[in-house]
Amino acid sequence: MYKIMSYFFYLLAIISGYLAAFDLLVQVFPDYGFFELTAGFFVTAMFFPLVPLYPGINSGEWITAIVCYSSIMLGVILANQARKSKV
């Protein structure tokens, strides 16, 4: 049960990172196409925990960063609980 909830929180963190990255993509390339969307997808896959910091620092929108980092924290805590409960 802990492991499933851990994966859910990791997924929530990834979605939050991608939402922030999409907001950044729209600001940088207002008329984005397939190439920009694909490049943004792969760059965000590598740096998804760092991307939510940009809207927070640039425009004061910290919600995506708070959701991303708190979800990662809860995912790690639940993954550790899952590992401890198996022993």
Per-residue CA distances from 19 to 35, 42, 81, 86 (Å): 18, 14, 29, 35
Q: Which residues contact 67 (CB under 8 A, 6 or more apart)?
A: 12, 13, 16, 52
How many other β-carbons are positioned within 10 Å of the β-carbon of residue 27? Answer: 12
User: How does pLDDT run across 27-83, given as a tens digit for each residue?
Assistant: 888 888 888 888 888 888 888 889 999 889 988 999 999 999 999 999 999 999 999
User: What's the whole-model pTM score?
Assistant: 0.84
d(CA 11, CA 5): 10
d(CA 68, CA 73): 9
